Structures are given as structure tokens and as C-alpha cells.
Structure 1
Amino acid sequence: MRFSPNLLDEIRSRLLVSQVVGRKVALKKSGREFRGLSPFKAEKSPSFFVNDQKGFYHCFASGEHGDIFTFLMKTEGLEFPEAVERLAAEAGVAMPKPAERNVEQEDQRERLYRLLEASAAFFESNLRMGLGAEARGYLERRGLAQETIQAFRLGFAPNSRTALTAHLKSKGFSPADMATAGMLIAGDDIPEPYDRFRNRVMFPILDLKGRVIAFGGRALDKDVPAKYLNSPETPLFHKGHILFNAARARTAAHDKNRVIAVEGYMDVVALSEAGFNESVAPLGTALTEDQLKLLWRFAPEPTLCFDGDGAGRKAADRAVEIALPLVKPGFSVSFAFLPDGLDPDDLVRQRGAGAMMEVLEKTRPLIDVLWDREIKAQPTGTPEQRAALEARLKSLTESIQDATVRSHYGRELRDRLYQLGRDRSSARDRKPAGTPFQSSYARPMAAPDWRGRERSRLAPPGKRFPDKSPFPGALTASPELVSHFQSISPREALILKTLINHPWLIDEHSEAVAVIEFASPAISALRDEILAVHARQNSLDSATLRTQLSKSGVAKVVDLVARTITHKSDRFAEPDASAADVEAAWHHILALQQRQAELGLALKSAEEAWYRDCTEDAENRLLDIKRQIARETAMNQMDEFDQPVDDNSDVKRAG
């Protein structure tokens, strides 16, 4: 509907901006203006200003600017016609009458609004009366407070075919209007029309202006075909266009910048009672495009909440299909999955609002849910299967209407496909010959218990050594492991030799030792066992450490370390080196090892970038990192084998 400039100016002239804004923002006079905290962005110092003379507000924190109509649209999610109608009513300005050809249609709509309002009042009254005892008992068993029942205007439709019809007739409504509003079942093949809702707890469905437009009814009889029954499509009600509780949730959603879409009426009511007033639900159908667009008027990334069972996952998959083509810059959806077997109503009643908050804190973005769905749809163990996955993802990506978002999705999914292939290749390469290939997602190693040594030291004598290693994730090297890694880096061997000959280093550098990235699994296993021995033993010298290592299954790795160090230039690693030389060289060799690890990560990142983008810059970056690695390798080899021994140096070649 178009509004004349004169009408809009008349409304503006009767309502001060500070009057409209002041209902949501605490304003203080500041010269000729008012100022307060921004309603659009969290802040501690006021940057939001209102000027009544000029008729606008301006927020320096967010850049938002507008008049009284804009303010309602931004803070309450109203459409422009809704904002005009509300402010016109507040200002006492008469709205223009509809065109002559629409008068009859508008008259019918007004009659239907009044009829449905009378029906809602009838149901509310029945719930409070004696015949509503069973319905009241049901609501009490669901744990609803009286205030919640009144806020949602819940009611009761008596078990009668004519009770509502008789009531509406007494109010002057015709059977034809009752049928048009969906409250009466009538037709040429039905001799006597009858009430649609019977013996049901009634949930009024409101439009965005808070007017009753339809009902949902929950059956109290156990043997009825439909536990929940909704109004049919009517001139006022199109179930794919509206959401249950949308009118009440809109303000809360704008205040919290969050809207939660759940699956059922009772879920919404229970969540609202638990403090989640921004909750809404579709009306007995899967989420539709129009409902998603309505959610985006409330918040840019609605949370779609589903039960954790199979049906909930299928509903989430359908939501992915609806949302994916419609996402646009800044507007998407996230997914929250409840514990298996529980819906939101069960969750808040059994475990409280905190449990629901935990679910909401674990929401997952659309792209993650899409990826998981496609990964689980078919095997991905072979190149052909991964090619099929790529084809499916490409088809889904092409359905995205916005070109910018489509481009970002394509790039992100290509990255994930590339990483999937790398993970599987890496996992296969790590397996000894003949070992069946398994999932590449390895269980992370448990972190060492750095308090274990103190607990062991303070324990009674009989409990000095624990039954289990304080390093539950530590590896025990087997002969097969050693034979599989006969070749190890001289630098990595040198680090372990230094620790074995100078275990006092662990007292000061235990955490640094624990996080060293080793290329050799055998070296990592030896390092972990050294830390485990150190944690069990309060005072540790080299001889004691070697004895313990010989008993723990890593003796062959210790021998491998000794065989790898074939030159005598790294004097600091020898048992007779001074503590000062050892300490200085230790920091140097760790820095070199860290540099090597960083180059490895940089190489991996550059390879992925080149695979993803195939640009000249990406190729140059990849070649540059490879040159750095080659240069470092050459320098290390020269340092380890070519330079003469210098017994007078402070740091005896830590390379």
C-alpha cells in the first residue's frame, strides 16, 4: 500500500522522535539534542543522538540513521506499512480508506478477525470453567504456570459438535463466515455442519499485529487420528507464511539478535516460560521459504533447533535444502541439535534452562551441517567415491542464488575436499604395509599430567609408582615401529640424545619438550616415555633414565638415536659437557626445530592455496617456501657433517 507524503508528514508532526525512541532507549537531554546508549550495538559510552527539531536519530557506533518509521522497522522488525499503521494509531491520524473495489473484501476480513477473536475468548473461558478440568490438568502436568497460559491465551474446545457454532451465532456470525474462518466443517456432502475443534487444548495463532488468524488444537483423546490439528487455509491464514508466536517473539528477537525456531507449539511455550521468549515454530509443516524470510526479519542468523533423533536429522536435512539457495551476505542459518530422545519441552522441564543454553552454545553453521550430511550419505574411501561427493557438492553450491556467497561456498568446499584427500593419504602412508586403511580422524593424544611427579613423590611408599602411566596417551615403541622408521632426522636424534644425557633439562623445560613437533613417530614415542619416567621419579640422572628406558620397550629406539649421531662435533650433547654449554645449545637447537616445523606448516598451507586458487601468486609462494626448505636442509647438512670441530666455541654446533 502506498502512503501519501502528506499522511507521513502529519504523523511525524504529531510524534516527537524522542517520544518514540524513548520507549526503548533511556535518553538524556544534551543541549538541543538527546543522547543515549545505542539500541543497535553494545556500548558503554553514549553515541546515539536524537534531534526532534530535525526529526531524525543518528547512531555513531553503528551508522544507523532514520526517522520514527525507520526506528520501528529496525528495532521491532516491522514492515513499512505496519510501522505507518501503528504510529498513525498512536498519533490519532486516520488511515486512508481502501479503494471502493476492495470494500467488500475488507469487510469480510474484518468480520473474520472479529469471529476468530470471539472464538479465542470462548476457548479461554472454557478452560477456566468446570468442563476445562481435563485440559487444565494436562497443562499442569506439562509444568506450565498460570501466567504462561494467560500470555499465550491457551484455551479449551469442548467435546461438542455445536458448542462453538451456537456461541458464534449468539454473537451474530453466520455459518458461512464460520466455515470461511475454518472454525466450522461444512460442505455440500455434509448434511449438518459441525465444529472443527472438539475436546482439544487450543493454541491461538496470531499474525504479526497480534490478531488471531487461526488455531492449533492438541487432542486430549488418545485414539484420535491427529494429535495436533491446525486450521485450514483461509483468507487470513496461510500456514507457510507465518510462524507460531511470531508476534510475541519479534521484540525479544531484536533485543537479543537471536531467534530460535523449534518444531512444536509446546516447545515454544515451554521455552518462553524458561526465558527464551524469542522462540517460534512452523505450523505443522517443514520450514518454508516464506517462513525463513520472516525469520531473517527477526535476526540475520536464525537458530533452527531439531530433536537429536533420526526424524530430527531428516528435518534438518530438509531445512538445509530450503535455506541453501536463499542464503545471502550476512544472512544464513545455524543448527542446534538436542540430546537424543528429548525435545525442547522435555529438556527445559527435566534439566532446566541452562541445559537449553548449552545446546544453543553449540550451534553449527549451515556449511558444517551440509558437509556432514553429504559425507555420511555415501562412502568416500576411494577417488571415485570422492569424485561423486565433489559432484554432489558442486550441484548444491550452484543452487545458491547469490553469486558472492556461491563463490565462498565453492572455495570452502573445495578446501574441505582437498583436506579429506590429504587426510586419507596421510593416514594410509602412516600404516605399515598390509594394514587395512581406516578413518583418518585419529584420536588425539592425551596431554601429559605435569602434576604426576609431585603426586608420586608425596604418595605413601607403597604407592610411589602408580599402576598406570600418568601419560595415558603415551606411545610404547614396538620392534615393528622401530623397524618401520630406521631413518630419523639427525637433529631429532640429537635432541633426544641431549635429554637422555642431561635429564635435568626436563626440570626447567618439560612443557617445551612435550610440545616439540617430531617427524619420526619413534622419536615421539621415546620423548613421551622419557617424560613419563621423569614424572614418576623425583630425582633423575642419566644412568637411572637409561635403566628405566631399557625396561619400557624403547631400548631399540635409544640404540637408533645413538647410531644416528655418527659425528662428535656436537659436544654439548655428550655426558661430560658443561651445564652452561648444554643450556645455550639446547635453546638453539629447539629454535632450529621450531623453524623446521613452521616451514612444514607453511608448505602445507601453500600447497592447499595453490590447489584451491591455481594463481601465479599461489605458485610463487609455494616455490619460495620450497626454496627456503631446501636452503635450510643444505645448511643443516653442512653444519652436521662438513664443519670442523671447534672445542673453544661456547655453543658446540647445535645444528
Structure 2
Amino acid sequence: MAIESGFLDELRARTPLFSVVGRRVKLARSGRNWKGCCPFHGEKTPSFYVYDDHFHCFGCGVHGDVISFVMQMEGKSFPEAVEELASAAGLDVPKDTRRSQEEVAHTRSLGDVLDLVQEIWAAALYTSAGRAGLDYLLGRGLTHDTIRSFGLGWAGDGRGSLTTALAAKGVTPHMMAEAGLMRLDEDGQPKGELFWGRVTFPIRDRKGRLVSFGGRILGDGQPKYLNGPETALFSKRRLLFGLDRARAAVRAPRPKGAPVTDLVVVEGYMDVIALHQAGFGGAVAPLGTALTPEQLDVLWQVDRAPVLCFDGDSAGRRAAARAAETALPLLKDERSLRLCLLPDGEDPDSLVRTRGAQAVADLFASASPLSDVLFDLLAGGISNPGPEERAALRRKLVEAAALIPEKTLGAEYRSTLLDRFFETFRRKKGAGFGGKPSLGGGGSSRVPQNTQSSHVDPVRERQRILLALLLRYPELVQEAEEALCRLSLPDDYSDLRAMLLDLSAEGLLPEDGKTLLDVLAGREEEALAHSVLTEGPLPLNLEEKDTSLAVAIRTQWWHFYGLLNFGQFQKEVEQEVARFAQDGADMAEWKRLQPRLEALAALRRGETGE
């Protein structure tokens, strides 16, 4: 069975070798790589090393990639190993047909076309026609060696010149279109060259094979930068400019005491080239798109914690926030990010030219882990927020941490984010919870809105019951915390919620409601808490309960939460059940889920509990 090389390359790229090996061999970090005891011969001292794209044992000499590892470990044939890995990666193995073989040959021919174009454009840069392009590159501080090393070129000013040059070598307009060099009309026919009057940048895959071009126009034309379209060779979502060079630089052996080469993501071609010229060989850039999940996977195969470098202005911060949101669902213990923001008005290219390489090195060294900067990105620079803004931000922080699929890591992020939240927005009213009462003495004269009217708002009454249950049974706060943050509450109730959450975060929640009221004595929240508890009855079946957290009490809380927010509640429970089913039986988790399931079932039966 012959399988096209393009598919095998994608399969290897989508299947991290260390994760496949790690399911069978206990691995430990060794610099940027992994090591363990060889599974193919008995040894007590680890000599089996796992790299980005291959493994090697210095004891017995066994060597191979992810496919050969599965073949040797499980005794599978090559097609069987490919099928197993493809299934795990969500890929379909292409059928071995004559047509697929022809497609492989055709793909190779497209690569040949691009190589011809590269020769033409690189030579044109050093002719009189390309003088403007060469002057531009030299004016940006690039040397002739760098220009030639990256294969920069010039696409002529006159449309049709490339078509004529390639026709002499047997390349048709249709082949040019398939290689991403010509536009197509509405009928799918070639209608004009894509690149002209531009400095050209060859785009290569991770193995260094030419797959497309980018171009920068000189003058006021638009678009300023242009990338080739998606083709059989080129996918913008999966590639990064400069990856072939960066991958080699990051993984290259380094002399003892030499600094580690960081994998750094910057914005554009010129940033990458300028950084490489200045000695930062790990620089790469997306190809005209925001960072994609596929590109993050590629980055993590090279470096477990690449640096993302963004402009320091508001647009750069928004881009950083988008990148963080893309990364969160993909994070694992061995996958993280570091972020740094450039000085205002600077990009890596200008920073190298104006402040020197050391300033850039210092900037990259100052990059902070994602866990440290995520709060600032999500908070968006807000200060002195009101109750609604505090609740909205807290909800956003909790939801961001919930995106992380690994529960332990997600819990750590949640804890870190909420710690920052309370440090940054600690309530200023009165003294701290462990200090003296505020000068108001008996508390606020604030009275809940519906005490002024005999009419009872059913929504507000349900909100009151939720808060009253938490005041009477404070142990419930921690379980209900995330759901509580998602509720939209009026100002007075929002203040009470913030107080409960603050107490919980600071570990000051008592075990029973009476003690909680003692904690609030003399504070302005005391009157509000008292009115919430006495303004109306609690559900009858709870009036005589003691303060233990019985299932019935928890079920009632979730029941009233569902009455206020049924659609969201139903979605949350279904997601929790799906996670429970996926992670396997855990009685503690089941006991935590049980009250929510009972509440949801009652709501579906139409029971209000009121």
C-alpha cells in the first residue's frame, strides 16, 4: 500500500511523538527533549531519547519516527500503524488509487513551478527593474547575505511577464493558477498574475520546501502585504513563516553556557528576517491570519513554551487576548505560552535597528507565562469597577479557566485568576473582613427594592431565595460560586454576592449562618443580609433543616438557579455529565452532580418549588 508523502507529513505533524511514546515509556524532561529507559532492550540507566520528530537509543541504536515506533512496539505493519495513528489524529487515510499517484506527481510538479518562479524573481531583484525592491530591503537594514539567504525577490512591474517566462519552460497558466500564482475568474479560468510590482518572500514548509509566496507592494497600493491562496501545497492555517529555520535553530546543539534559542512568534515577514539577521534564529510569524489552533500545535512540537510577541498598543493587546482564548482549550501540563508586549510605536524590526539586539534579548527574557498575564488581558484595563463589572469580569475569568480541558491545570488557572481578581479589586467599603467595623456603626439604611411595595417580583424573589440559602448555609458558596458569578443581579444583591465571594476567597466563611451574621455585625452589609433572610420565607421543606449541607438543600439551590437561568443551567449540567462519562466513575464527582440532576429533572417536569 503506497501512501502519499504529503499525508504522512501531515500525520507526523499532527501526532506529537513524545505523547505516543509517553503512553508506553516513562519519560522525563531533558532540556527541550525527553528521555527514558529504552523499551526495546533492558536497561536501568535511561539512554532512550525522544526528539521533536524522531527517537534514538544510544544504548541499542534503535531509531525512527512515530510510525516506526508503533510498528516496532506493537508488531504492526506500516499500513496498520498509519491507520491507528490517523484514527487517533482524526485523519482519513487516502485510498491507494492510480488517481492518488497522479496527484502526488502533480503536487511535485507544482513544487517545480514554484522553484522556477523563485529563480526568476530572486534574479530580478538584482536587475535594474528590481532596483526599487532592493533599495527598500537595504533601507530596512537587511544585508545582501540575508536577502540571498531568504531568497527575497522582485515580481516585475508589468503583468504577463512571469507568464511569458514560464511558458518558455512549458508551464501553462492553469498550472500557475494551481500553484497560487494567478487569479481565477468566475468560471475558474486564469485571468491575471497575482504578484506584480512587489518584493517577494518565499514561504516554505517545516522541511524547507517552497509552497507559496508572499509579496509587499511598494508605494500606496493595497493590500500592502499579499499571500498566495490556499493550494494543494499551501495551507495558511498550518504554516508559519520561517518555521523551517526556527525549528533547526531551536533544536540545534548549543555550546555549554550558551543561551537557549527561544521560539518567538512575531507579526510579519520583515520582523522574522530582521530578528534572524540579528541572531534570533527562533523567530516565526503567522501568514496574514490570527494565530490558529493548528499553528499552536506546530509551535508546541518545537517548544513547550513559545513566546508570543505583540505590539504594546490596544490593537496588540486585543490580538494577545485572542491568541490566549485560542490557546486555552489546547493547554496541557507540557504546553504553555509566554507573552511579551513591545514598547509603544516599536516592532521587532525597528527595535533591532534603533536599540540593538540586547534590547530585544531583554524583551524576550521578560516574557511572562500566560497564567500571569491572562488576568490583565481579560480585565482590559478596567479600574474601580462597579458591582456589575466585577461580576462580569469574575464570570469571564471563571469561564476562561473552564476552557482548559485538563481539570487540574484548569483549577490552577482558576485559582490564579481569582487571586488576582481579589488582590486587584478588593472591596474598599469599611474595614477588611478581619478588621474593625466601618464608621457607619449599625450599617446601611439601604432597603431592598421590593420592601417598598406589596407587589413581589418573582425574579427578584428567586434571587433573594438563592442568596438567603447561601447566607443560611455558607458551606454552599464554594460549590455554587461559578454559577453565582453568571447570574445577573440588581445592585443591592450584586453587592451581597460580592461580599460572599470575597469572604470565600479569603477563607473567612464560617460554617453556619448564625456565625456569618456575627461576622457581618456592624458592617453595612448586615442590614441587607438580614432583610434577605427575613423578607420572605424560604422553601417550606427547608425551614426546619439544620445547617448541614443535605442533598435537599443543595438541590433546592440549584432548582432556583435553574428557574432563573434554565437554558444555561441545562447546558451546564449536560456538559458536566459528558465530562463525568468521559473521565470515568468517580463517586465524589457523582455526589456533587446529583443535586443538579435532581433539580434539572424537577424543572423539566414543570415543578417550580415555590
TM norm. shorter chain > 0.5: yes
Q: Within 5 Å, which residues of 2 pair with 1:325-340?
A: 325-340=329-344
Give SS of 1:64's match: strand
Alignment match, 1:41: 31
1:353/1:63 CA distance change after superposition, 3 Å: same
User: 2: CA distance between counterparts of 1:173 and 1:57?
Assistant: 57
Aligned twin of 2:459 = none
**Secondary structure, counterpart of 1:312 in structure 2:** helix
**Contact 2:48–2:55 (CA under 8 A) maintained in structure 1:** no
Tell me the amino acid that sits aligned with residue 291 of structure 2: L
Residue identity matched to 2:404:
I
Deviation (angstroms), 1:384 = 4.5
Question: Does structure 1 retain, via aligned residues, the 8 Å contact 2:183–2:194?
Answer: yes
Kindly name which structure, 1 or 2, has the bigger radius of gyration based on alpha carbons: 1
Residues 446-485 of structure 1 aligned to structure 2 (within 5 Å): none
1:334: how far off? Answer: 1.1
Partner of 2:374: 370
Q: Distance in 2 between matches of 1:67 and 1:242?
A: 16
Paired-residue identity, %: 38
Aligned ranges for residues 115-134 of structure 1 at < 5 Å? Answer: 115-134=113-132
- Which piece of structure 1 moves more, 417-426 or 242-251? 417-426
- Given candidates 210, 214, 217, the residue that maps to 2:215 is 217
Q: 1:419 to 1:157 in 2, by over 3 A?
A: same
Deviation per CA, 1:625-652, whole angstroms, max 9, x where unpaired?
xxxxxxxxxxxxxxxxxxxxxxxxxxxx
- After superposition, the C-alpha distances for 1:156-204 in whole angstroms (9 at most, x for unaligned) are 1010111111121111112111111111123256997322111111000
The residue number in structure 2 matching 1:170 is: 168
CA distance in 2, matches of 1:343, 1:349: 10
C-alpha contact (below 8 Å) 1:326/1:402 kept by paired residues: no
Q: Which amino acid counterpart does residue 409 of structure 2 have in structure 1?
A: V
User: Residue 313 of structure 1 aligns with which residue?
Assistant: 317
The corresponding residue for 1:472 is: none
Structure 2 equivalent of residue 102 of structure 1 = 100
Can you list the C-alpha shifts for 1:400-434, whole angstroms capped at 9, x where unaligned? 22222112112222333343454746888899979
Match of 2:278 among 274, 277, 291: 274
- TM-score (structure 2 length as normaliser): 0.57
Structure 2: how far apart are the matches of 1:258 and 1:431?
A: 52
* Structure 1 position 369, deviation (Å): 2.4
Instruction: Give the aligned residue type for 1:165.
Output: T
> Within the alignment, does 1:351 sit opposite 2:355 as a pair?
yes
Equivalent residue, structure 2, for 1:205: 203
- Pairs within 5 Å for 1:46-85: 64=49, 69-71=54-56, 80=66
Structure 1 SS opposite 2:404? coil
Residue in structure 2 matched with residue 140 of structure 1 by the alignment? 138
Distance 1:59 1:283 in 2: 46
Instruction: Return 5+ residue gaps in structure 2 as ranges.
Output: 4-27, 58-63, 71-94, 253-259, 441-502, 512-610
Give me the whole-angstrom Cα distance separating, in 1, the residues matched to 2:43 and 2:274. Answer: 38
Gaps of 5+ in 1: 4-37, 73-77, 85-96, 435-605, 616-655
User: What corresponds to 1:251 in structure 2?
Assistant: 248
> Following the alignment from structure 1 to structure 2, what is the Cα–Cα distance between the partners of residues 48 and 59?
12
Identify the residue that residue 232 of structure 2 maps to in structure 1. Answer: 235
Task: State whether residues 49 and 57 of structure 1, in contact with CA within 8 Å, keep that contact through their aligned partners in structure 2.
Answer: no
Q: Tell me, in whole angstroms, the C-alpha distance in 2 between the residues paired with 1:348 and 1:403.
A: 41
Shift of 1:262: 0.2
* CA 342–181 in structure 1, closer or farther in 2 if over 3 Å, else same: same
Matched, 1:341 2:345: yes
- The offset of 1:399, in angstroms, is 1.7
Post-superposition Cα deviations, 1:450-508, rounded to whole Å, max 9, x if no partner, equal xxxxxxxxxxxxxxxxxxxxxxxxxxxxxxxxxxxxxxxxxxxxxxxxxxxxxxxxxxx
Q: CA, structure 1 residues 197+402, in 2 after alignment: closer, same or farther (shift >3 Å)?
A: same
What is the distance in 2 between the residues matched to 1:312 and 1:273?
24
| Partner amino acid, structure 2, of 1:41 | G
Distance 1:372 1:242 in 2: 29
Distance change in 2, residues 1:315/1:399 (3 Å): same
Partners of 1:296 and 1:417 lie apart in 2 by 29
SS at match of 1:120: helix
Q: Kindly indicate whether the alpha-carbon contact (under 8 Å) linking 1:57 and 1:65 is maintained by their aligned counterparts in 2.
A: no
Distance 1:417 1:310, change over 3 A: closer
8 Å contact kept, 2:328–2:404: yes
Q: 1:105 to 1:610 in 2, by over 3 A?
A: same
> Residue 380 of structure 1 contacts residue 389 of structure 1 at CA under 8 Å; is this kept in 2?
no
Matched, 1:159 2:157: yes
Equivalent residues of 1:329, 1:404 under 8 A apart: no
Please, which of 378, 392, 396 is the counterpart of residue 392 of structure 1?
396
CA distance in 1, matches of 2:505, 2:360: 38
- Residues 391 and 188 (structure 1 numbering): CA distance in 2 closer, same or farther, change over 3 Å? closer
Read off the aligned partner of 1:64 and give its amino acid letter.
Answer: Y
User: Residue 344 and residue 50 in structure 1: after superposition, are their counterparts in 2 closer, same or farther (change >3 A)?
Assistant: same
Q: For residue 165 of structure 1, give the secondary structure of its aligned residue in structure 2.
A: helix
Q: Could you say what secondary structure the match of 1:197 adopts?
A: coil
Number of the residue aligned with 1:323: 327
In the alignment, what sits opposite 2:288? 284
Q: Deviations over 1:594-637 (max 9, x none)?
A: xxxxxxxxxxxx9967469x99xxxxxxxxxxxxxxxxxxxxxx
Give the Cα–Cα distance (whole angstroms) in 1 for the partners of residues 130 and 410 of structure 2. 54
Q: CA deviation at 1:274?
A: 0.5
Equivalent residues of 1:56, 1:65 under 8 A apart: no
Aligned counterparts of 1:228 and 1:254: Cα–Cα separation in 2: 30
The answer to whether the 8 Å contact 2:156/2:198 transfers is yes
Inter-partner Cα distance in structure 1 for 2:425 and 2:343? 32
Distance 2:51 2:179 in 1: 39
Distance in 1 between residues matched to 2:244 and 2:68, nearest whole Å: 12
Alpha-carbon RMSD: 4.2
Alpha-carbon distance in structure 2 between the residues aligned to 1:140 and 1:364: 34
* Number of residue equivalences: 390
Normalized against structure 1, the TM-score is what? 0.53
- Per-residue CA deviations over 1:252-299 (Å, capped at 9, x if unaligned) read 123436210000000000000000011000001110110011110110
Query: Residues 60 and 331 from structure 1, CA distance in 2 versus in 1: closer, same or farther, beyond 3 angstroms?
Result: farther
1:360 match: 364
For 2:184 and 2:206, the matched residues in 1 are separated by 29
Confirm or deny: 8 A CA contact 1:56 1:66 kept in the other structure. Answer: no
